[in-house]
Amino acid sequence: MSKKRREIPVFDHPIIETHCHLDYLKDRPLAEILEQSRKVNIERVITIAVSPENLAAVRELSQLEPWVYGTQGIHPHEAESYSDEVEAEIREHARDDKIVAIGEIGLDYYYDNADRGVQREVFRRQLQIACDSDRPVVIHSREADDDTIAILQEFEQTLTRRGVIHSFTSGAGLARYALDQGWCLGFNGITSFNKAENVRDIVRMAPIEQILLETDAPFLTPVPYRGRENAPFYLPFVAEKIAEVKDLPLDQVLAQTYQNSLRTFFPQP
Ligand SMILES: [Zn+2]
């Protein structure tokens, strides 16, 4: 018997999904997922590249609907597959019409799927692509606070667009540095997990002007749908949680995070 869960709330204000992996969603057809996302007022979706294998897939997905966008970049887990050819491909497409950022790139010392020295080198090389192509960056940083700060410091003068540290689970030191430097922090369903008080502390500390909403689907499904495959249409639960944790009116959270997403990924010329 399945227990009845609360339906997904639908808000008047549009929401931008700033981080998901549409090519990893397997539980139902993509067209259905996108349709249901529109029904709960998800206005735009950014699907994130992670590996040499899915750079082209993300570009194709970004052509699916006018409101679906993509990124180009190699995740730290895949750092050892980085090469001059891969770099050339990212550079070639960094300024495509529907490509809005370089990412996700960064450091992951929790899983250590790639040699840490290689991760740092690949992180730097892709930050340089962002500088050269005038694109914002989507950063993944896990258990690598000190090295993330050190490498971002190297790019303080040259990386003009900044971007987001997504699925933020790092410490207050990295949060403080990133916020001072004009980065946004991305929050997802983790904010609704019982054990994530450390993440909620960072949500409280971050100004609402520097918070982005994301799902990181298919991972990290928010309460009350934990256990199911995540999807962009669960994003209203994340917005509610941010409003609750920060003790702000939901309308203000929706309006401000929407503006933050536009400023970061869709600036007006
Ligand atoms: Zn991701």
Token pair belonging to 182? 């004009």
Q: What is the 3-state secondary structure (H, E, C) of 121-152?
A: HHHHHHHHHHHHHCCCEEEEEECCHHHHHHHH
Structure tokens at 234: 């669960």
209, amino acid identity: E
Over 60: is that where the pLDDT of 1 sits?
A: no
User: What is the mean pLDDT of the segment spanning 207-212?
Assistant: 98
Helix H or strand E encompassing 15: strand 15-20
Calpha distance 222→224 (Å, rounded): 6
Token pair 């887990």: residue: 77
Reported as type and span, the H/E element at residue 59 is helix 55-61
Sequence letter at residue 97: D
pLDDT at 24: 97
* pLDDT, mean of residues 185-191: 98
Centre of ligand 1 to C-alpha 139, Å, is 9
269 has pLDDT over 80: no
Render pLDDT for 64-98 as a digit per residue (tens, 0 to 9).
Answer: 999 999 999 999 999 999 999 999 999 999 999 99
Mean of the pLDDT values across residues 234-246? Answer: 98
- Dist. CA 110 → ligand 1 center (Å): 15
Indicate if the pLDDT at residue 220 is higher than 60: yes
Output the CA 255–ligand 1 centroid distance in Å. Answer: 24
1 Cα to the center of ligand 1, angstroms: 32
Q: What spacing in Å lies between the alpha carbon of 223 and ligand 1's midpoint?
A: 19
More confident residue, 3 or 9: 9
- Alpha-carbon distance of 73 to 241, in angstroms, equals 29
pLDDT, tens digit, 9 for 90 and up, residues 123-177: 999 999 999 999 999 999 999 999 999 999 999 999 999 999 999 999 999 999 9
Distance 105 CA to ligand 1 centre (A): 10
CA 203 to ligand 1 center in whole angstroms? 19
Residues with CB under 5 A from ligand 1 (ion): 216
The answer to whether residue 3 scores a pLDDT higher than 70 is no
167 alpha carbon – ligand 1 mean position (Å): 8
- At 4 the pLDDT is 79
Alpha-carbon distance of 230 to 238, in angstroms, equals 12
Report how far ligand 1's centroid is from the alpha carbon of 205 (Å): 23
Question: How many Å lie between the centroid of ligand 1 and the Cα of residue 137?
Answer: 13
Give residue 69 CA to ligand 1 midpoint distance, Å.
Answer: 14
Please state whether the predicted TM-score (pTM) of the whole model is above 0.95.
yes
- Binning the chain into helix, strand and coil, the percentages to the nearest 5 are 45, 15, 40
Q: How far is the CA of 85 from the centre of ligand 1 (A)?
A: 23
Distance 187 CA to ligand 1 centre (A): 11
Residue 117 has φ and ψ, to the nearest 5°, of -65, -40
Query: Ligand 1 centre from 216 Cα, in Å?
Result: 5
Q: Contact 107/147 with Cβ under 8 angstroms?
A: yes
**CA–centroid distance, residue 21 to ligand 1 (Å):** 7
C-alpha 215 to ligand 1 mean position (Å): 9
Cα(42) to centroid(ligand 1), Å: 18
pLDDT at residue 2 greater than cutoff 70:
no
| Ligand 1 centroid distance, CA of 98 (Å) | 18
* CB 105, CB 49: distance < 8 Å: no
- Residue 131's nearest CA partner among 92, 98, 101 is 101
Confidence class of residue 268 from pLDDT cuts 50, 70 and 90?
confident
Q: What is the mean pLDDT of residues 102-107?
A: 98
Among residues 121, 129, 101, 269, which one has the least CA distance to residue 186? 101
3-state secondary structure 78-98: HHHHCCHHHHHHHHHHCCCCC
- pLDDT above 90: percentage of residues in the chain: 97
